[in-house]
């Protein structure tokens, strides 16, 4: 069953049944030399093959503890970068499709963040003395490195409150990127007034803010967002509650503030999965996060009589993660079995070292 042509063009038209069989065959040949990671948002026909599942940081940390030579990350580019940074030198991280990126992560580039830092210096003086840069883990490695170099830190959707506490204890302000909604919800939960959280538009001079607005801000929120989570609206929740007044609503903090305020629970993908799993049988849930995870939870919880409903009335999934399909996975695994690592993810040494500083600061706190 081993492929005779290992170029991807040979795989793109493979029938589903043959593709799945070739994945299983290649995995058997690789054995423990490869570990397959799947993020919660990964499509079902790939997720079924996972050795490890979870959110991005959990997966990267778990994979680094394995003896696997190859870490095959079925997620998106920034996740594979984190895995490369945290893995051992003898391990190789592979991303089955290099086009599997993250639109939110792409909204904050190093060039734009450095320009922001320079512009802040004209208003505030030396920014390293007054502002702590905080990047969401959903960002490129060079932005994590920027934070490592400038006394900053990385956060996840779970530990963001503790990270904001740490950052504001060190300096009076935070520059939070790339997701304004996670930053706003976290600041709101910490009691920071909305008028002290200003949005920085990187395409405008001084972020589109006056000097007074910059001075007033405790948190400068980068003008970025997740396209998936912006589909959810508070009106969806209100209409659902009218129909199911005893139902429960749970949302990801990448949703807008009105959705988070209207929800009973707000938390990460792991939090959402664990909260619903721990709920009493027969409960009904409206869930504001990516469709693949919601569908998987609905299937898993059905035997307990739990009803899990997707929040938006339209289909809404992470289109870039969808690029990791069975054909790309089969191509990747058969190449590995043949002795070739396709699409290896290697963060440059200096960048990786600085990014690891920012990641380790986070791990020491949480």
What are the DSSP calls for 336-358, one per residue?
A: HHTT---SB----HHHHHHHHHH
The pLDDT tens digits of the residues spanning 327-342 come to 999 999 999 999 999 9
| Structure confidence at residue 3 as a pLDDT band (50, 70, 90) | very low
Backbone dihedral angles phi then psi of residue 284, each to the nearest 5 degrees: -115, 135
Predicted pLDDT of residue 161: 96
Distance between CA 26 and CA 10 in Å, rounded? 16
22, 1 contact by CB (below 8 A): yes
Task: Give the domains, in start order, of the chain with CATH numbers.
Answer: 8-101+320-346 (3.40.50.10800), 105-226 (3.40.50.10800), 229-310 (3.40.50.10800)
138, 80 contact by CB (below 8 A): no
132, 168 contact by CB (below 8 A): yes
Distance between CA 108 and CA 113 in Å, rounded? 7
| Structure confidence at residue 1 as a pLDDT band (50, 70, 90) | very low
Q: Quick one: average pLDDT of 205-232?
A: 96
The pLDDT tens digits of the residues spanning 102-146 come to 888 999 999 999 999 999 999 999 999 999 999 999 999 999 999
| Structure confidence at residue 347 as a pLDDT band (50, 70, 90) | very high
Residue 203, pLDDT > 50, answer yes
Cis? peptide before 271, omega within 30° of 0: no
Single pTM value for the model? 0.93
Mean pLDDT of the chain: 94
Predicted pLDDT of residue 4: 46
């Amino acid at each position: 069953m081993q492929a005779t042509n290992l170029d991807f063009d040979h795989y793109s038209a493979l029938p589903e049944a043959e593709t799945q069989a070739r994945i299983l065959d290649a995995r058997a040949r690789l054995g423990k030399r490869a570990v397959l990671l799947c993020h919660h948002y990964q499509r079902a026909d790939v997720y079924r093959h996972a050795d490890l599942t979870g959110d991005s940081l959990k997966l990267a940390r778990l994979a680094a503890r394995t003896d696997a030579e190859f870490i095959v990350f079925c997620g998106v580019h920034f996740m594979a970068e984190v895995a490369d940074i945290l893995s051992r030198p003898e391990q190789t991280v592979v991303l089955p499709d290099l086009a599997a990126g993250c639109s939110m992560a792409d909204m904050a580039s190093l060039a734009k963040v450095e320009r922001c830092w320079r512009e802040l210096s004209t208003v505030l003086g030396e920014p390293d003395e007054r502002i702590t840069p905080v990047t969401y883990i959903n960002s490129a490695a060079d932005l994590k490195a920027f934070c490592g170099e400038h006394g900053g830190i990385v956060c996840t959707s779970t530990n963001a409150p503790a990270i904001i506490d740490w950052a504001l204890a060190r300096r009076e302000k935070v520059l939070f990127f790339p997701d304004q909604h996670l930053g706003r919800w976290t600041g709101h939960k910490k009691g920071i007034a909305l008028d002290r959280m200003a949005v920085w538009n990187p395409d405008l001079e001084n972020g589109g803010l006056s000097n007074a607005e910059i001075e007033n801000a405790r948190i400068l929120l980068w003008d970025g967002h997740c396209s998936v989570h912006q589909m959810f609206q508070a009106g969806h929740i209100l209409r659902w509650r009218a129909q199911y007044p005893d139902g429960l609503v749970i949302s990801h903090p990448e949703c807008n503030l009105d959705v988070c305020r209207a929800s009973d629970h707000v938390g990460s993908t792991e939090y959402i999965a664990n909260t619903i799993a721990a709920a009493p049988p027969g409960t009904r849930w409206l869930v504001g996060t990516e469709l693949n995870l919601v569908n998987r939870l609905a299937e898993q919880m059905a035997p307990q009589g739990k009803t899990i409903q997707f929040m938006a009335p339209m289909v809404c999934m992470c289109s870039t993660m969808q690029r990791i399909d069975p054909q790309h996975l089969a191509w990747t695994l058969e190449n590995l079995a043949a002795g070739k690592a396709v699409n290896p993810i290697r963060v440059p040494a200096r960048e990786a070292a600085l990014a690891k500083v920012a990641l380790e600061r986070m791990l020491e706190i949480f």
